[in-house]
A and B are shown apart, each in its own frame.
Chain A
Amino acid sequence: MIRPLIIAACLAIQLAPALAADDLKPGKRVGRLPAISFEVAELSATERPGATHVKVKLSKPAKRDLRVPFTVGGTATRDEDYTLSQDSILIPKGRSSVTILVDIIEDDDSGDDREFIELTLNPPPGLAITGSFGRVRIKVLNPKLGDPINGLTPAQFASFKRGEKVFNKRFSPEEGLGPFYNATSCASCHSTPVPGGGSGLYRNFYLAVYQFGPTPASQSSSIPPFLSQVVPAYGSGAEHTTTTEFTLEGGRPLLPETVFGSFPVLSAQRNSIPVFGVGLFENISDSTILSNADPSDTNGDGISGVANTSLTGTAIGRLGLKAQANNIELFTRGPLQNQMGVTTDPFDGLSGIASMARSPLLQVAADPNDPTTDADPVPDPEMNSQDLGDLIAFGKFLAPPPPPKFDQDGLAGRVLFRQVRCNDCHIPSLPSSRGPVNAYTDLLLHDMGPALADNIQLGEVPESIAEFRTQPLWGISNFGPYLHDGRAATLESAILLHGGEAETSRDLYIALSPSDQSDLLAFLEQL
């Protein structure tokens, strides 16, 4: 392939035949000329899947097809560091904008953070440039934890950045924290190694339900006065006071052994999970998830993945350790209420969700269509819709951990990962409407053996009582400790604690030579 000129490659200039006659009338004041510009003067593009969208806008719809050349400059090299979707801009008749796609090529070059690409519009006579936006500088960034995904519009990017602030904001009782809570911010628990991550054992929390029949299937959603299965660690005392003044002097609710006489209470711990890239799970179709399900193990491989669904079987869960929620809004409003006591009004509710049915067992203290409310004196909703929308945008657009770069050990480990059949459940990649999602999960529930089963149902399928969703493995070395309650301090200990459907793989791992085991672990560490 012929490489174009590297710097300031002047691309084919075609004088536009497109402008209407009156636009080109001599003596017309420049200010009244139709104007063209980039949408912003500066952008960044990360070395990640997906292109960065560079939008070019016309002040009024084109009267004919309008071709505008542009010049490419900067320190990054075209077709080596990045590709461009086109060499010049063609705005079709009747349209007022067009998007250039800049796709950064994934490589091993760690110097990318200093590189940039510059596009300069060369408008034909009769077309003005608006302000200083005739040129856009695109900074080329190495991927890191906490990035947004590529391809966001400026408005989406701005919402993501505002949402990041809300994610990190510490709430006080005056702002609606409590009356019961475990954390004061999202980042309290999703903290390590950067906001959006997991956290150590010290951030674990409890779930509890009570059982009113002889089998685990007959269990309630929650124990009064908890708002949900989540058991709070702190009480702000608001329920004990008649004034609107807040205190931090309330007792936390007791976690009794029995309730209502003799119904036994079941409890289990949860370690916080990273949320990088989970927004992409929304873009994986139900049929993709279901295509990997094999509830009755018809293929006889000992693995019986089952989707967590609503009672009608139409809502397919994706998020949470039991895949008990299927969209970011639900998984944002739920923890705001359960973990922080911060109430919200639904943003989209059911209407924004393609396959969501009412579920009394979901981790929200209200139906998705209903506002959440609590017993403290701060007026509900305690978080306004702007902040909630931005927080949801942060969850939707937070990118996966940086794509892996394997060394020789890691590459050998990748082969072993397949050989010991880890990837039967930890499926390396699922297709989505935003491209492949390389999360190493099938988003299905699996039996992990009696030692891990917690007997707490989340979602509708009975399998959710004992089983867990295959945990994504991307970036896993950043997010210890492991397993739903953090009982595994290391990746190897996590492997060894796999039982049930994963027993065969665990035994195959144990049978590997020490150097093969170390290669497999290297692969996981490099993910």
Chain B
Amino acid sequence: MSTRILRSFAVLLGSAGICAAATVGGGGTEAPAPGELGGPTTALSPTEMGTWLAGEAQFDRAFHIADGVGTPEFNAESCRACHRDPVLGGAGGLELNVSRFGFDNGGLGPFQDLPGGQGLSKLRPPMINDRENYPVQADVFEQRQTPSLFGLGLLESISEANILANEDPGDSNGDGIFGVARVLMIDGLPEVGRFGWKSQVPTLEDFVRDAMAGEAGITTPSVGRGFALSVDADSVADPEFSEAEVDEMAFYLENLGPPLRVGSVAPEVVQGEILFTALLCSTCHIPNINGAVDPVFAYTDLLLHDVMPTDYRGMEEPGAGNGMFRTPPLWGIRHSAPYMHDGRARGLREAILAHESEGQASSDAFVLLSESEQSALIAFLRDL
């Protein structure tokens, strides 16, 4: 019911020209049509549609105590709890942020993980008293905002070579921008990370296992890649989410369509696109990278950049230092406020102005634009 309300809301919000024809799948559940926000990327066969809807149902499912929610710690009892705005699979508001902690010696460094790791969960199941605390020596905290999941299957389809091709770790072209790929050692072999604020996850299947563990405290079978939590401390038998269910949910995400452009040809939008390139936003927010079949118009290079202030204190991970975040895709950005890794920017203007360090030149150039040029750039972003 609520999903349907949200869907019609999305249609009202102006995915102009999109026909809201509903597909009825095997389970009898309504799904948005391909191309509609929250629908599959392309038309699926009846069998595929059945799997997709099963995955969507898992995504929408509220886990309770008897289902094993919590390690006992958790942030949410369903994927939908956070990824729901404006429709299932979307982003979430500031109030759905999650917290991380660490120790950086008052900013002098070096950064260290403290016992318990970086993640700080909000909750435990109702009958367990207290909640997770961090060690008292923690002196640096970072919140993380819920990103939208639309079109991630297309990002997964981009080859590692196509991502690495845009790296410039030594700024050899002297443009002040140092894109670096997140290289993770998975089961002894290097893989390029592409999901998460620090590109800490390489595939959507890994992402499902990682998020089920880290956000919901739900155990999944381990496949030796280091993302599953296969055993936890609650009394529900492990795994709490079967391999078949992981596959269904991964299939749902792999085929959850990208947000489509509004496609306005208003002069303002056209001018905004020119300014987007002229201000060098497109250096990191590369309009498209070739995917397996077609170019993927996600407006990201999937590389890490430092766009935080020079005195910023945040989390560090191997290969992703303080203030280093993956260029977030800009497709569908009109649907996913607030912005930046912790949601510090309420709107697109604030988000542009929040770009410092590698993004400083572009942000400064934006300030120098006339008011109408600034509006044009934002109109272009809202069209994506």
Q: Chain A residues in contact with chain B, CB under 8 A?
A: 170, 172, 174, 177, 181-185, 188, 192-194, 200-204, 206, 231, 233-235, 237, 246-252, 254-257, 266-269, 271, 481, 483, 485-487, 489
Inter-chain contact A254/B62, CB cutoff 8 Å: no
Residue of B whose beta carbon sits closest to that of A191: B2
B contact residues around A251 at 8 Å (CB): 101, 134, 138, 141
The answer to whether A255 touches B143, judged by C-beta atoms less than 8 angstroms apart, is: no
Residues of chain A contacted by B66 (CB below 8 angstroms): 489
For chain B residues 198-254, which have a beta carbon within 8 Å of chain A? none
Query: How far apart are the CA atoms of A252 and B120 in the complex, in Å?
Result: 10
Whether the Cβ atoms of B69 and A201 lie closer than 8 Å is: yes
Tell me the bound Cα distance from A185 to B96 in angstroms: 11
Q: Which residue of A lies closest to B76 (CB)?
A: A202
Question: Can you list 17 pairs linking A and B with CB atoms under 8 Å apart?
Answer: A174-B346, A181-B95, A188-B95, A201-B123, A202-B77, A202-B82, A202-B122, A231-B131, A234-B99, A248-B342, A249-B140, A252-B99, A252-B120, A267-B129, A269-B123, A481-B64, A483-B126
Q: Please, what's the 1-or-0 string for B244-287, where 1 marks a CB less than 8 Å from any CB in chain A?
A: 00000000000000000000000000000000000000000000
Q: Which B108-151 residues sit within 8 Å CB-CB of chain A?
A: 120, 122-123, 125-127, 129-131, 133-134, 136, 138, 140-143
Contact of B95 among A184, A481, A487 (CB under 8 A): A184
Q: Is the CB of A487 within 8 A of B127?
A: yes
Query: Are the CB atoms of A200 and B130 closer together than 8 Å?
Result: no
Q: Which residues 328-374 of B have a CB within 8 angstroms of A?
A: 338, 342-344, 346
A469 to chain B, nearest CB (A): 18
Determine whether the beta carbon of B314 is less than 8 Å from that of A487: no
Chain B residues lying within 8 Å of A246, measured Cβ to Cβ, are 344
Top 10 closest A-B pairs, CB basis?
A485-B126, A202-B76, A489-B64, A202-B81, A487-B126, A184-B95, A188-B95, A248-B342, A201-B77, A251-B141
The contact string, 1 if C-beta is below 8 Å from chain A, for chain B 57-75, is 0000010111001000011
Q: Please name 14 further chain A to chain B contacts, defined as beta carbons within 8 Å, in addition to the given A200-B77, A202-B78, A202-B122, sorted by A numbering.
A: A172-B338, A188-B93, A193-B2, A194-B5, A201-B69, A202-B81, A202-B82, A203-B81, A248-B342, A249-B143, A251-B141, A252-B99, A485-B126, A486-B126
Residues of A within 8 A of B94 (CB): 170, 172, 177, 184, 248
Task: Kindly list chain B residues whose C-beta atoms are within 8 Å of the C-beta of A237.
Answer: 141
Is there an interface contact between B134 and A254, defined as CB atoms closer than 8 Å? yes
Contact (A234, B97) CB under 8 Å given A206-B131, A248-B342, A248-B343: yes
Partner of B1, one of A193, A201, A248, A269: A193
Is B313's beta carbon under 8 Å from chain A? yes
Tell me, in angstroms, the Cα distance from A257 to B138 when the chains sit together. Answer: 18
B residues within 8 A CB of A255?
130-131, 133
Partner of A183, one of B78, B82, B95, B142: B95
Name B residues whose Cβ lies closer than 8 Å to a Cβ of A. 1-2, 5, 62, 64-66, 69, 74-78, 81-82, 93-95, 97, 99, 101, 120, 122-123, 125-127, 129-131, 133-134, 136, 138, 140-143, 313-314, 338, 342-344, 346
B86 to chain A, nearest CB (A): 14
* CB-defined contacts of B2 to chain A, threshold 8 Å: 192-194
Q: B residues within 8 A CB of A203?
A: 81
Q: Are B81 and A200 in contact (CB under 8 A)?
A: yes
Residues of B within 8 A of A271 (CB): 126
What separation, in Å, do the CA atoms of A206 and B342 have in the docked complex?
23
Bound CA span A233–B99, Å: 9
Give the residues in chain B near A194, CB-CB below 8 Å: 2, 5
Complex Cα distance, B76 from A250, in Å, reads 21
Task: Check A172 against B77 for contact (C-beta < 8 Å).
Answer: no
Cβ contacts under 8 Å, A202 to chain B: 74-78, 81-82, 122-123
Chain A min CB distance to B358 (Å): 20
Taking a contact as CB atoms under 8 Å apart, the answer to whether A170 and B344 are in contact is no
Complex CA–CA separation, A197 to B122 (angstroms): 21
Contact B133 A204 (CB under 8 A): no
Complex Cα–Cα for A268 and B131 (A): 10
**Neighbouring A residues of B97 by C-beta, 8 Å:** 234, 248
Evaluate whether A233 and B93 lie within 8 angstroms (CB atoms) in the complex, with A200-B77, A202-B75, A248-B343 already known: no
Residues of chain A contacted by B75 (CB below 8 angstroms): 202
Distance, CA A185 to CA B92, complexed state (A):
13
In the assembled complex, which residues on chain A have CB atoms less than 8 Å from the CB atom of B81? Answer: 200, 202-203
Asked if A257 and B130 make an inter-chain contact with CB atoms under 8 angstroms apart, the answer reads: yes
Q: In the complex, which of the residues A248, A250, A257, A487 contacts B65, with contact meaning CB atoms closer than 8 Å?
A: A487
Residue of A nearest to B120 (CB): A252
Chain A residue at minimum C-beta to C-beta distance from B337: A170
Chain B nearest CB from A493 CB (Å) reads 9
How far in angstroms is the closest Cβ of chain A from B117? 15
Smallest beta-carbon distance B73→chain A, Å: 12
Measured between alpha carbons, how far is A170 from B140 in the docked complex, in Å?
26
A172 contact set on B, CB distance < 8 A? 94, 338, 346
Chain A residues lying within 8 Å of B125, measured Cβ to Cβ, are 201, 487
Set of chain B residues within 8 Å of A192, measured between Cβ atoms: 2
Complex contact A249–B126 (CB within 8 A): no
